């Protein structure tokens, strides 16, 4: 695995002009110019919020870029599982927009098109007409999906299964508690792993299992024979914290 860190401090100046009512501020708008932040050799990227848990090999998700290429799409995301009346009722189409807490971006195409002008103009139009965006950059993505459907690709809902109290589970699960289709779980509200919602509790149990993993053993570091058994999957039974 190769990883890199990027200093985004200077990038904040590019989004200072955007007011937002979202609790996380306007930081999410950095997604809009990921193509300017990443090296040129990076042509496609999957962005994930930090309150997500990946349950499937991301290579499978990455394969959807081939479909996006054929469609000519710039971004791909699963549907929003929130009603969000405050923005949806104001848009020409009333269907549920995307939730971009997990979003696939074709940043090569973003560089080759007037994407920067497009997203800025759409953001300013929304602010002028409706006021500060309540869902931050997601409102811009949703509006662009409505007005430029050729730029958007809708991923299966399992790639962003939202666990917040106000998320409507039936939009993805069909009303059942069979979570086999869930590939990425997403804790979408301030109350994360203490939520009493059944779907959130189900995936929080798995999250706690991951917390309990003995990463030193996985990395090949031997442990003292006299110490307690390593907390690998073999020793996990109920997902409770040690």
Q: Using N-to-C axis directions, what is the helix angle for 137-147 and 115-130, rounded to 10°?
A: 110
- N-term to C-term CA, the chain: 29
Can you tell me whether residue 32 is helix, strand or coil? helix
Q: Could you give all domains of the chain from N- to C-terminal order, each with its CATH number? A: 9-159 (3.90.550.10)
Could you list the pLDDT tens digit for every one of the 242 residues in the chain?
788 888 888 888 888 888 877 777 778 889 999 999 999 999 999 999 999 999 999 999 999 999 999 999 999 999 999 887 666 566 656 578 899 999 999 999 999 999 999 999 999 999 998 888 888 899 999 999 999 999 999 999 999 999 999 999 999 987 777 898 999 999 998 888 889 999 999 999 999 888 877 666 555 555 555 555 555 554 554 445 44
């Amino acid at each position: 695995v190769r990883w890199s860190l990027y200093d985004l401090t200077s990038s904040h100046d590019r989004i200072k002009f955007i007011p937002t009512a979202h609790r996380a501020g306007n930081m999410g708008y950095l997604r809009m110019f990921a193509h300017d932040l990443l090296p040129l050799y990076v042509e496609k990227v999957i962005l994930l919020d930090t309150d997500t848990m990946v349950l499937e090999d991301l290579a499978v998700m990455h394969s959807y870029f081939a479909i996006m290429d054929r469609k000519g799409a710039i971004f791909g995301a699963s549907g929003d599982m929130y009603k969000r009346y405050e923005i949806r009722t104001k848009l020409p189409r009333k269907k549920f927009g995307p939730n971009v807490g997990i979003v696939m971006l074709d940043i090569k195409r973003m560089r080759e098109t007037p994407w920067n002008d497009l997203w800025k103009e759409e953001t300013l139009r929304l602010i002028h007409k409706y006021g500060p965006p309540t869902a931050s950059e997601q409102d811009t993505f949703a509006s662009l999906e409505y007005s430029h459907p050729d730029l958007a690709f809708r991923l299966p809902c399992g790639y962003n299964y939202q666990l917040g109290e106000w998320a409507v589970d039936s939009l993805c699960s069909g009303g059942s508690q069979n979570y086999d289709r869930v590939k990425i779980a997403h804790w979408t509200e301030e109350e994360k792993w203490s939520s009493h919602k059944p779907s959130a509790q189900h995936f929080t149990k798995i999250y706690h299992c991951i917390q309990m993993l003995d990463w030193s053993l996985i990395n090949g570091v031997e442990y003292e024979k006299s110490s307690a058994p390593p907390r690998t999957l073999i020793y996990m039974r109920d997902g409770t914290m040690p």
